[in-house]
Amino acid sequence: MKEKTDILILGAGPAGMISALTALKYYPDKQITVLKSVAKGVVPCGIPYMFSSLTDPEDNELDTTGLEKKRVRVHIDEAVTLERAKKTVLTLSGKEYSYEKLIVAVGSKPIVPPIPGIDKEGIYPILKDMEYLKQMVEKVRSGGNVLVIGGGFIGVEFADEVSKIPSCKVRLVEILPRLLSRSFDPEFSCEVEEKLRSRGVEVLTGRKVTAFLGDKKVTGARFENGEEFAADRVILGIGAVPNTELASLGGIELRKATGGIWVDEYMRTSDSDIFAVGDCAGKRDFYTHKDTSVMLASTATAEARIAGANLYSLKVVRENKGTIAVYSTYVDGLVLGSAGLTGYSADKEGFETITGSAEGMDKHPGKLPGSGKLKVKLIFSKQSGTLMGGQVSGGISAGEMINIIGMAIQQRVSVSELETLQMATHPFLTAAPTKYGIVVAAQDALSKMR
Amino acid sequence: MKEKTDILILGAGPAGMISALTALKYYPDKQITVLKSVAKGVVPCGIPYMFSSLTDPEDNELDTTGLEKKRVRVHIDEAVTLERAKKTVLTLSGKEYSYEKLIVAVGSKPIVPPIPGIDKEGIYPILKDMEYLKQMVEKVRSGGNVLVIGGGFIGVEFADEVSKIPSCKVRLVEILPRLLSRSFDPEFSCEVEEKLRSRGVEVLTGRKVTAFLGDKKVTGARFENGEEFAADRVILGIGAVPNTELASLGGIELRKATGGIWVDEYMRTSDSDIFAVGDCAGKRDFYTHKDTSVMLASTATAEARIAGANLYSLKVVRENKGTIAVYSTYVDGLVLGSAGLTGYSADKEGFETITGSAEGMDKHPGKLPGSGKLKVKLIFSKQSGTLMGGQVSGGISAGEMINIIGMAIQQRVSVSELETLQMATHPFLTAAPTKYGIVVAAQDALSKMR
């Protein structure tokens, strides 16, 4: 069966949805069709919270009915072949869609490492599919030993959430010596480790899984050092790779280092009628313009806005400054945020830096009810004084504080500008103006530059 | 008695303290002396919270012992005469201090309007003096009818706090038709009014007090419209004026429009050995460079850092971009923030603007425990697309969100840059990346510009 559409969007995750919504605004006369590979999608960053905080996992649905109300066609189907010469896409259900403009927003695929026994029942990669996740939730909620593999954001959040289920004993395994090491320096990683331990999670860093044990069903895992741990359920949170099969089949250029789809400043691929956005699209680093593999819903939606606006003509001129990673996470009340380079990643890349730190309370005076600790670290270029990265830990307010730092990095703000920043302070909301973390950390760095 | 010091700082509020701490860092060999006009000062923005949230009002002390530990001399005394030719200051206690560099950080004085009966017992202007405030707290905590005059930040915060004392009946009087009108547009003012009413505060807008009633002690107030209300206590929260008596006596130039002390880019007064910082120093508006009268501790501390660094030579070169007001306030869990121009103030100044708005939840999915509403309004220059102002209401996270907007204003960020902002989003901390308030409001504004 043949279908004709003006704008065809492959994928209905955050990148696909925002592409559609933006295209609707900029090109109101065009027919838009979205192909959704699963019947019900999920809010990606909400997945861990389906296991405990959300009583009903269905509350984490990424609902596309809003698109349909705005006359976007949403079909449950998946593209399998791309014929660029004919400007058509063939789907799993056998349909042929012709398009004027195509947006590839097919996301990423979880990494499933080739460990012996990885295909046993009870071992779960994270798929963005409501039906799959609902079954996983049911199993995990039934209790037992849960092994979470991977000490990045997903692994840490899963460990925290599953530890809230009283009948579960959680172990978190990380191959590197500490948790969240890609986004945080050691003084922040240790806060998360301490918090997880205080919740009864056994944190096993510097451990490599060499085999999963059991017959048909997983019963445990063996580590390289010979240790063995019982496991009724294993959750794989070790990252993802760009989903580029279709693009590759269609002969679209990929980026070499990361394998993402090559895109220009306006998210156009090597075929200028085809755009790629989100996890499947290649990213360039903000500091070096080298390839980088940041996969964040917030980056994806920013890219989708650029693509959606520029489909038929370049309406929104922009400098693609490159991607900085701006993350936050939440572990039982402890909030951690990271933006840009860490001390470790700056060193590794060869940047000469100076860091500044501040520790204080997140309200003032500190005796106000609900006050908690707040820690800020800023990383500056030693000679130019430009902000290159920052990390924050604290309570709820740290979640938006990292976005102040993210904004400052994107604007290439200098240490002197931060030292004399004009900001709102309030007893119930921030540190005192004399002790505002970002300003104090900037001052600390400045004093080291003198 | 004569005393000699290298750096003399008049005032030990946030501006004086940060001046001293900064000077210590930049000029470690100089002797610094701070004159403190009261035995015990207070954290200015914490004053309302001494009445209920802080069980012990003493917890709001602005402690200067930290300065003394760092070998700064702190004397309880007040300057009364400035003799610039001799480079000396005479004090209330009869001492004569000679200085090399002088920093005037003497703050502001509360406005006490010439209303008949204003000097009756039980009517309290807000003085930054622990002993005075402790007595005021004791009286207010004893209960009765409390009339708060002035619907700006101080008045609103006092009304909220005093309403937490069960034996108090609070009325808040504002001469203009709505609360917080200097910093917020009507759709935000009404949120505060609603919140205060829900706490049992009687909000009386558009009312002018023409007389305070009673003999020696206040018993009530009469309004211009003839209404009379009983009052056992009256709290005056109607603003302040720069404290420039000493400077004026010393023949230092003042700014005409606001009466603050004239200062250059580096906080130097018309006498280049004398600096002025904080509420007593004149400010220029960020948008027009006209005189403005913003009085914020955060502005004061930024100025103090500039002065402290540049006392003996101009070490920190900076562009004084002018002052933007970045405020936040907290009323019983409702947080409001404002940065830069409001719609009203932009119109009044003659700026042609476009506004964008967003309303959503502050967590995602919205069914997560503790989710609340979040509202963002952004104001852009219509032709240039530059961000000129913003307002936020929501929960705790709104307190730092206004600082993202403040940073963006100071960096003159454009609407397109905000539309493709890279930010951290997290289920427990922010809206979804597809619905992040600042981005959605920027998009809304952009769509109106097309």
d(CA B276, CA B311): 11
Q: How far is CA A158 from CA A167, A217, A395, in A?
A: 15, 21, 19
A385 Ramachandran zone, left/alpha/beta (phi>0; psi -120 to 50): left
Across the range B101-123, mean pLDDT stands at 97
CB within 8 Å of A194: residues ≥ 6 apart? none
Does residue A389 sit at the B interface (CB-CB below 8 Å)?
no
The two beta strands, B228-230 and B220-223, are: antiparallel
Contact B298 A423 (CB under 8 A): yes
**Would you give the end-to-end CA distance of chain B in angstroms?**
71
d(CA A391, CA B315): 28
CB B325 within 8 A of CB B388: no
- Residues written for chain A: 450
d(CA B297, CA B287): 20
Q: How far A428 CA lies from chain B's nearest CA (Å)? A: 7
Nearest to A424 among B53, B300, B406 (CB): B406
Q: Within 10 A of A342 (CB to CB), how many other CB atoms are there?
A: 26
- Chain B residues in contact with A368 (beta carbon < 8 A): 46, 49, 53-54
pLDDT of residue B411: 96
CB within 8 Å of B322: residues ≥ 6 apart? B283, B284, B285, B286, B287, B289, B292
Does residue A408 sit at the B interface (CB-CB below 8 Å)?
yes
Does residue B70 sit at the A interface (CB-CB below 8 Å)?
no
Residue A248 has pLDDT above 90, yes or no: no
Residue A258 has pLDDT above 80, yes or no: no
Reported ipTM:
0.93
Report the b/e string of B257-290 with b at 16+ CB within 10 A: ebbbbbbeebbbbbbeebbbbbbbbbbbbbbeee
Q: How confident is the model at residue B298 (pLDDT cuts 50, 70, 90)?
A: confident
Q: How far is CA B138 from CA B221, B233, B360, in A?
A: 22, 11, 42
Does residue B186 sit at the A interface (CB-CB below 8 Å)?
no
- Which of A206, A45, A237, A220 has its CA nearest to residue A117? A220
Residues of chain B with CATH 3.30.390.30: 333-449
Nearest to B337 among A301, A406, A424 (CB): A424
**Chain centroid to CA A50:** 17
pLDDT of residue A315: 84
Q: How confident is the model at residue B294 (pLDDT cuts 50, 70, 90)?
A: confident
Across the range B312-328, mean pLDDT stands at 85
H helix runs in A310-377, sequence order: 343-349
pLDDT of residue B86: 97
Nearest to A420 among B305, B413, B436 (CB): B305
Could you tell me what percent of chain A has a pLDDT over 90? 89
pLDDT of residue B1: 87
CB within 8 Å of A444: residues ≥ 6 apart? A356, A357, A358
Across the range A225-234, mean pLDDT stands at 97
Nearest to B403 among A335, A404, A432 (CB): A404
Residue type, A314: L
pLDDT of residue A449: 87
Residue A337 has pLDDT above 90, yes or no: yes
Contact A403 B404 (CB under 8 A): yes
Across the range B65-78, mean pLDDT stands at 94
Residue A225 has pLDDT above 80, yes or no: yes
Across the range B35-54, mean pLDDT stands at 95
d(CA B375, CA B441): 9
Residue A31: both structure tokens together: 């027919």
CATH class of A2-37+77-108+241-309: alpha beta
Q: How far is CA B3 from CA A203, B32, B33, B34, in A?
A: 62, 12, 10, 12
- Which of B25, B448, B423, B212 has its CA nearest to residue A294? B423
Cis peptide before A365 (omega within 30 of 0): yes
- Chain A residues in contact with B61 (beta carbon < 8 A): 365
Which of B49, B320, B361, B422 best probes binding to A when mutated, by most A CB atoms within 10 angstroms? B422
Contact B43 A365 (CB under 8 A): yes
Q: How confident is the model at residue B367 (pLDDT cuts 50, 70, 90)?
A: confident
Strand, coil or helix: what is A189? helix
CB A404 within 8 A of CB A394: no
Fold of A334-449: Enolase-like; domain 1 (3.30.390)
Residue A148: both structure tokens together: 């979470």
d(CA A349, CA A338): 17
Q: Within 10 A of A347 (CB to CB), how many other CB atoms are there?
A: 13
CB A389 within 8 A of CB A339: yes
Across the range B99-118, mean pLDDT stands at 96
> Tens digit of pLDDT for each residue in A125-157?
999 999 999 999 999 999 999 999 999 999 999
Contact B439 A301 (CB under 8 A): yes
> Got the DSSP string for A125-152?
E--S-HHHHHHHHHHHHT-EEEEEE--S
Residue B248 has pLDDT above 90, yes or no: no
d(CA A361, CA A429): 10
> Tens digit of pLDDT for each residue in A157-182?
999 999 999 999 999 999 999 999 99
pLDDT of residue A249: 85
Contact A420 B302 (CB under 8 A): yes
d(CA B441, CA B289): 27
Residue B429: both structure tokens together: 């901390």
Residues of chain A with CATH 3.30.390.30: 334-449
Query: Homologous superfamily of A123-238 in CATH?
Result: FAD/NAD(P)-binding domain (3.50.50.60)
- Chain B segment 259-318 residues within 8 A of A by beta carbon are 296-302, 305-306, 316, 318
By CB atoms closer than 10 A (0-12, 13-18, 19+), residue B241 is middle
Residue type, A379: I
- Chain A residues in contact with B369 (beta carbon < 8 A): 53
- Residues written for chain B: 450
d(CA B134, CA B382): 50
Fold of B333-449: Enolase-like; domain 1 (3.30.390)
**pTM of the predicted structure, to 2 decimals:** 0.94
Across the range B192-215, mean pLDDT stands at 97
Across the range B216-229, mean pLDDT stands at 97
Nearest to B60 among A330, A365, A413 (CB): A365
Q: Within 10 A of B159 (CB to CB), how many other CB atoms are there?
A: 29
3-class SS letters over chain B: CEEECCEEEECCCHHHHHHHHHHHHHCCCCCEEEEECCCCEECHHHHHHHCCCCCCHHHHEECCHHHHHCCCEEEECCEEEEECCCCEEEECCCCEEECCEEEECCCEEECCCCCCCCCCECEEECCCCHHHHHHHHHHHHCCEEEEEECCCHHHHHHHHHHCCCCCEEEEEEECCCCCCCCCCCHHHHHHHHHHHHHCCCEEEECCCEEEEECCCECCEEEECCCCEEECCEEEECCCEEECCHHHHHCCCCECCCCCCECCCCCCECCCCCEEECHHHECEEECCCCCEECCCCHHHHHHHHHHHHHCCCCCCCCCCCCCECCEEEEEECCEEEEEEECCHHHHHHHCCCEEEEEEEEECCCCCCCCCCCEEEEEEEEECCCCEEEEEEEEECCCHHHHHHHHHHHHHCCCEHHHHHCCCCCCCCCCCCCCCCCHHHHHHHHHHHHHC
Q: How far B320 CA lies from chain A's nearest CA (Å)? A: 10
pLDDT of residue A259: 81
Residues of chain A with CATH 3.50.50.60: 2-37+77-108+241-309, 123-238
Nearest to B401 among A367, A400, A426 (CB): A400
- Chain B residues in contact with A183 (beta carbon < 8 A): none
Residue with token string 């030292």:
A419
Mean pLDDT value across chain B: 95
Contact A423 B404 (CB under 8 A): no
Residue A320 has pLDDT above 80, yes or no: no
Q: How many Å is the Cα radius of gyration of chain A? A: 23
> Tens digit of pLDDT for each residue in A360-372?
999 998 888 889 9
Mean pLDDT value across chain A: 95
Residue type, B195: K
- Which of A342, A249, A358, A260 has its CA nearest to residue A300? A260
- Chain B segment 225-244 residues within 8 A of A by beta carbon are none
Does residue A391 sit at the B interface (CB-CB below 8 Å)?
no
Across the range B62-88, mean pLDDT stands at 94
Q: How far A420 CA lies from chain B's nearest CA (Å)? A: 5
From A38-47, B240-249, B252-261, the region with the lowest mean pLDDT: B252-261
Q: How confident is the model at residue B450 (pLDDT cuts 50, 70, 90)?
A: confident
Cross-strand pairs, A283: A292
